[in-house]
Structure 1
Amino acid sequence: MDSNDGYRELGRQECLRLMAKAPIGRIVYTRRALPAVLPVNFALDGDDAILLRTSTASELVRAIDGAVVAFEADDVDAAHHSGWSVVVTGTATVVTDPAEHERLARTGPVSWVPAPPEVFVRIEAELVTGRELVGGRTLYGVDLPA
C-alpha cells in the first residue's frame, strides 16, 4: 500500500495478521449516548470476526449486543518510533447457539478475570483498516530526539 506522511496503509489480510499477535485491544461503543472505550483481551475467529469473552451480567454485553462498534488493537515501540494500529468496525452480537458456544469455549479467548456464567461476543469484521508508522522521528535522515 502507499506511504503517506510517514505512515503506510495496510491491507485487510495484513491488518488481521498483525491483530492476531496483539494480546489486548480496545472496544469502542456507545454508553448512555456517549463514546466509551474499554480495553479487553480477545481472539480472532477466522478472517471475519473478533471474539470477546465476558460475564453475562456485564454492562458491556447489554450495551453492544446488536450494535455497530469499533475495535482497535496496536503495537507501539516508543524507543524506535515505530508501530501499527488496526481498527475493525462491525456489528457485535452475543453468541447464542449452544454448539457454537461449546466450540468457542474450547478455541476462543480465555477471560483474564473469569466471571461465570460467561458469554462470547462476536464482532463481524465488516470494515478493516490499518496503518503502520514507517518513517519514525527522522528529518533528512537524522534521528530526532523523542
Structure 2
Amino acid sequence: MSPAPQSPRGDIGRRVAARRHQLSLSRQDVALRAGAAPGYIQYVEEQSATPGIGFLLRLADALETTVQELTGGTVDLPGGLGRAAREARMVELDEAECRELLGDHGVGRVALTGGDGPVVLPINYQVLNGEVMFTTGDRSPLAGAAGTEIAFETDHIDDAFSKGWSVLLVGTVRAVEDESEALRLREAAYSGPWAGEGREHVMILTPRRTTGRRIIVADAPEDTR
C-alpha cells in the first residue's frame, strides 16, 4: 500500500523555519516560548498549515518578529516604513561586531561605477576566509568591475521597533580566472544566485575597510544578531 502523499509545505512554514534557524533555536525552544507542543511547530513548518491568529501572535513573539513577517505581508514592501522611535540612538560597530552580523552568507548590495554612472546591484554572498564571494553574469556591470574598488553593504531592518543595523565593506574586487577554483567556490556556496542561472562568473571582494552602525531603541527587545 502506497503511503499517503504529504501536503506541500506552505509559505508560513518556510518563514517560520527560516526565522527559527536564523535565531539558532530548536523546535523545542520555539514550542516553549510559544506555549505549544514541539510536534505542532514541526507540523506548521512541514505542512500547509493555517494557524489561528492567537497562535500566530504567540509564534511571532517567540520568533522575535511580527505576524505580518510570518504571513508574508511585508514581502513586497520596502524596509523602514515604521516611524522613527523617540529615544533612538546610533552607535558605531567595531570590526568584530560587523563580522558577526555579516555571518557566513546572505543577501547584500554592491555599489560600483559603471558606464552610465553609479549603480547598486543586489547579490547573494558567501564569506570565505574574511573575503566576500559572489557570482554574476560574464557581461554584467559587476564582472566589468574586476580590478576596481567597490562597496558592499548588508543590513537588517526591524520595522516593528524602528531599529536596525548595517555593515559596509569597501575594497578591491577580483575575478576568479581558474575554472577549477571557480567551480570549487560555486559548490561551496550556501546558495546560488536568486536571480537564476547563467551567473557563474565568480568574484571575490577583499575588504580594506569594514564599518557598521546600529540603531538602538530604548526598551525594544535586544537583537540576537
Q: Tell me which amino acid in the other structure corresponds to 1:34.
A: G
Q: 1:18 aligns with which of 89, 98, 101?
A: 101
State the partner residue of 1:93: 174
Q: Is residue 8 from structure 1 mapped to residue 91 from structure 2 by the alignment?
A: yes
The offset of 1:67, in angstroms, is 0.7
CA positional deviation for 1:110: 1.4
The whole-number CA distance in structure 2 between the counterparts of 1:126 and 1:117 is: 26
| Alpha-carbon distance, 1:118 to partner | 1.3
| TM-score between the two structures when normalised by the length of structure 1 | 0.79
Q: How large is the RMSD of aligned CA atoms in angstroms?
A: 2.3
Pair 1:135-2:214 in alignment: no
- Residue type of the alignment partner of 1:32: G
Question: In structure 2, what residue type is equivalent to 1:124?
Answer: T
Q: Separation in 2 of the partners of 1:74 and 1:131? A: 9
State the shift of 1:132 in Å: 0.7
1:60-139 alignment, distance < 5 Å: 60-62=142-144, 64-108=145-189, 109-116=191-198, 118-135=200-217
Shift of 1:25: 0.7
- Which of 113, 116, 137 pairs up with 1:30? 113
Counterpart AA for 2:216: V
- Using the TM superposition, give the Cα deviation of residue 54 of structure 1 relative to its aligned residue in structure 2, in angstroms: 1.5
Read off the aligned partner of 1:39 and give its amino acid letter.
P
Cα distance in structure 1, aligned partners of 2:188 and 2:147: 23
Identity percentage of aligned residues? 30
Number of paired residues?
132
Specify every segment of 5 or more residues in structure 2 that has no aligned partner in the other structure, as ranges. 1-87, 221-225
Deviations 1:55-78 (A, max 9, x none): 22323211x111100000000101
Secondary structure of the structure 1 residue equivalent to 2:143: helix
| Distance in structure 1 (CA, Å) of the matches to 2:172 and 2:165 | 23
Runs of 4+ with deviation above 4 angstroms: none
Looking at secondary structure, tell me which structure has more strand per residue: 1
> In the aligned structure 1, how far is the partner of 2:138 from the partner of 2:198?
8
Greater C-alpha radius of gyration = 2
The alpha carbon displacement at 1:99 in A equals 3.8
1:91-126 CA-partner distances (Å, limit 9, x unpaired): 011111234213202212412234336111001011
Instruction: Determine the C-alpha separation between the residues in 2 that align with 1:21 and 1:32.
Output: 31
* Larger RCO: 1 or 2 (CA < 8 Å, sep 6+): 1
